[in-house]
Amino acid sequence: MTRSDVLISADELLTRMADSPAPRLLDVRWTLPKPDGSEDFAAGHIPGALYVDLDTELADHGSTDPTAGRHPLPSPEAFQETVRSWGIDADTEVVVYDDNSALGAARAWWLLRWAGLSARVLDGGLSAFRDAGGTLETGPTPEVTPSSLEISPGKLPVIDAEAAADFDGVLLDARAGERFRGETEPLDPQAGHIPGAKNAPATDNVPAGTFLPEALLQERFEELGALDGPVGVYCGSGVTACHNALALATLGIEPSLYPASWSGWSSDPSRPVETGA
């Protein structure tokens, strides 16, 4: 896998939108302070895009087990129905985007890849599309004809808490430094990180809104020791960890995702906690 397999530029997207069929566009408008992005979507989105609700379509909130984390992965059956509702077939070109440096879009990208489908993320998101001359449309998500696609789940590696505890490689924590160090924890039961993990804030992949050039991403992950062997990724709830997985995929690296992440780990009192840098 190369960078062009993972990311698409706004200029290329505009060209592809003029083709027939055009790509299926998925708008994952989501942030922690405002998880429901439907109003923002309705106020302006790329023409033809479908709004994707991360909390309900890209996560399973039916679990009562706190160690499953705040954003457990949807079941294969549920995600298959979601993908079908987007009108996606096996040969559909899919582009996902958001307006938050791909922090939400990366989750959709990861799940689609996990399901055995191809997808790319719009580098720079909505801002890059506008800057390239693209115009937005308003209104609710359009209706599409559902597909009958059969997904192939399990195409990307996933680890559980036991595997994360004994991970034979580099475990990267995508949260901000102050949460990793345990100086603050606004969301989860305990502050700190999984012992032995290294801090790799997802936002450092996109300091100016677009992904760092390949050489700089290579340098970033090389300094973290993430290019020499197995890599695992986690975050607070398994969402922004997908951003590090996306960045690593541009370098041809396929990391393992710990979906429950810190929210699941810190809910288990038997799990050790480490603080500091």
Residue 97 contacts residue 28 (beta carbons within 8 Å): yes
**Interatomic CA distance for residues 73 and 91, integer angstroms:** 24
What single-letter amino acid sits at 225? Answer: G
Residue 119 contacts residue 112 (beta carbons within 8 Å): yes
Give 3-state DSSP helix, strand, coil % of the chain, rounded to 5.
30, 10, 55
Active-site residue 242, yes or no?
Answer: no
Dihedrals phi, psi of 206, to nearest 5 degrees: -135, 60
Query: Which position among 94, 112, 235, 257 bears the catalytic label?
Result: 235
> What SS3 class is residue 122?
strand
Size of the chain in residues = 277
**Interatomic CA distance for residues 5 and 13, integer angstroms:** 13
Other beta carbons within 10 angstroms of residue 148's beta carbon come to 7
What amino acid positions are annotated as catalytic residues? 235
